[in-house]
Structure 1
């Protein structure tokens, strides 16, 4: 049995006239008659009475009609769902993010997307950049918000925003009372850095900044998330250099000061697999361009 048989049955069951049913289906009457005969043979029951008075459903045809129409409706719904998913109007987006994006309007972005695309489910998970890259490669994420554009060939990216670095100091640190802090003044301090394993590119970036200014940081502790780094600083265990977004994190005991040196800003990128359907990703990224992003 094919769906064309059911469509022919449905049209004839409603019109009860071969000519009108054929016209509705945009076919001639002979193919319609053949389709109905084939369907009756497949079902094993006579579905229509045909005589000089016209066309009528048999009791078997009346019983068959409800299920047949249900099958057609479910088929149309399945087709519509497939089209919506392909167009990015429906589906599930698995999003990874680094903590700094929470201070750059990620919540507003998610709310705006949910309002514009209520039939798309967005599942979010906070991961460091390296874990996101691995999850993207394993197809466990559809989109990642990461701190690096140094990606494997299978991934692509686009920049989202840039922000300055700041010195992150314990409230008891002498520099916490200054308007600005120089990197040189931190040379002999214990440093708390983002984990080399969690984000090797970012870890190397901070080390290189220090090296370019005449010293290597005295690594005291590492954190796998930026908020862990800031929390360790707040406990007085060392100093750090972090993206400016964390000045808004509200962690008591941590003080953020501009650096006197001009550094290349920190950047966040949207990353994804080159292969695969990108309709949902494109819709999600497009929503961000239409909202005010915190900087």
Structure 2
């Protein structure tokens, strides 16, 4: 039995006329008659009676009709599901993110994706860059939003956007009264930085920014997440250099000031396994907002436009 036989059977069951059924199927009448005979032989029962009065379903044919329609419907549903999965319209997408993306349009991005792809289940989890890399390698994430593109060979990355670094100071710090901060003025201050273990590359990048401005930061505390760093600053335990997005975090006790001079920007990358199915990942990246502007406290400059990832 073939699905072709079922489609021919259902057309004839609807029309009860070989000529009209053949026309509906865009075939000639003889192949339809042969297909019905083949189907009846396969089923082991006569499905139609044909005499001078016309064509009628037999009791066996009437009983077979509902099951045949259900088989066709299930086959069509299976085909539609396969097409939807390939197109990134159905499935489960596990996304890791670093904290700065929460304040740089992540929630709006995910809402837009969910509205456009309601059949996709999106699971998000906040992890530092290194933990996301490990999760990607162990197939525990489908996409990571990380602060580094220095990845193992099994992973690939593309830049999503850049934003400036800003100085983060306790509100009562003497330098907090200044409209902008020259990095060398932080040289003698106790520093709070993102954990070296959580993102070795990002930690080294910030230390190198300080080194190029004439000092090594006096590391006092480390935070595993950026919000922890900002919280420690807000409690007066030191100063830091953080992505500008954290100006939107609304933590009392911390102030943010733009940095004077040329300072390397902070970049967020999308990362994924090279051998992973790209459909859902590409569908999510395709709905990414084109630009998110970051305004520095006390300053009107904007972050660079998003790069295409």
- Distance of 1:248 and 1:76 partners within structure 2: 49
**8 Å Cα contact 2:234-2:254 kept in structure 1:** yes
Q: Residue in 2 aligned with 1:154?
A: 154
- Taking structure 2 as the reference length, the TM-score comes to 0.87
5 Å matches for 1:254-269? 254-269=254-269
Question: How far has the Cα of 1:76 moved from its partner?
Answer: 0.6
TM-score, structure 1 as length reference: 0.90
- Mean alpha-carbon deviation: is it higher for 65-74 or for 32-41? 32-41
The 8 Å contact of residues 157 and 270 in structure 1, kept in 2 or not, is answered as yes
Tell me, in whole angstroms, the C-alpha distance in 1 between the residues paired with 2:246 and 2:183: 18
Give, in angstroms, the shift of residue 246 of structure 1.
0.7
Give CA deviations for 1:220-246 in whole Å, capped at 9, x if unaligned. Answer: 222121101111111222221111111
**Shift of the alpha carbon at 1:289?**
4.2
The CA deviation string for residues 254-289 of structure 1, in whole angstroms up to 9 with x for no partner, is: 121222242111111222233333233233222224
1:100 Cα offset (Å): 0.9
Does the CA contact (< 8 Å) of 2:40 and 2:46 recur in 1?
Answer: yes
Aligned to 2:307: none
Deviation larger for 61-70 or 89-98: 89-98
Q: Which residue of 1 aligns with 2:172?
A: 172
Distance 2:131 2:165 in 1: 23
Tell me, which stretches of 5 or more residues in structure 2 are unaligned?
295-309
Offset of residue 251 of structure 1: 0.8
For the aligned residue pairs, the C-alpha RMSD in angstroms reads 2.1
1:44 alignment counterpart: 44
In 2, distance between residues paired with 1:271 and 1:38?
54
Change beyond 3 A, Cα 1:125–1:294? farther
Question: In 2, are the aligned partners of 1:103 and 1:294 still within 8 Å (CA)?
Answer: no
Deviation string for 1:185-227 (max 9, x for gaps)? 3223322211112111101111112222333222222212110
For this pair of structures, how many residues does the alignment match? 294
The whole-number CA distance in structure 2 between the counterparts of 1:41 and 1:159 is 62
| 1:8-47 alignment runs, 5 A limit | 8-47=8-47
**8 Å contact 1:168–1:230 — kept in the other structure?**
yes
Partner of 1:136: 136
SS at match of 2:287: helix
2:292 is matched with 293
Mean alpha-carbon deviation: is it higher for 1-10 or for 26-35? Answer: 26-35
Q: Quote the Cα distance in structure 2 between the aligned partners of 1:179 and 1:254.
A: 14
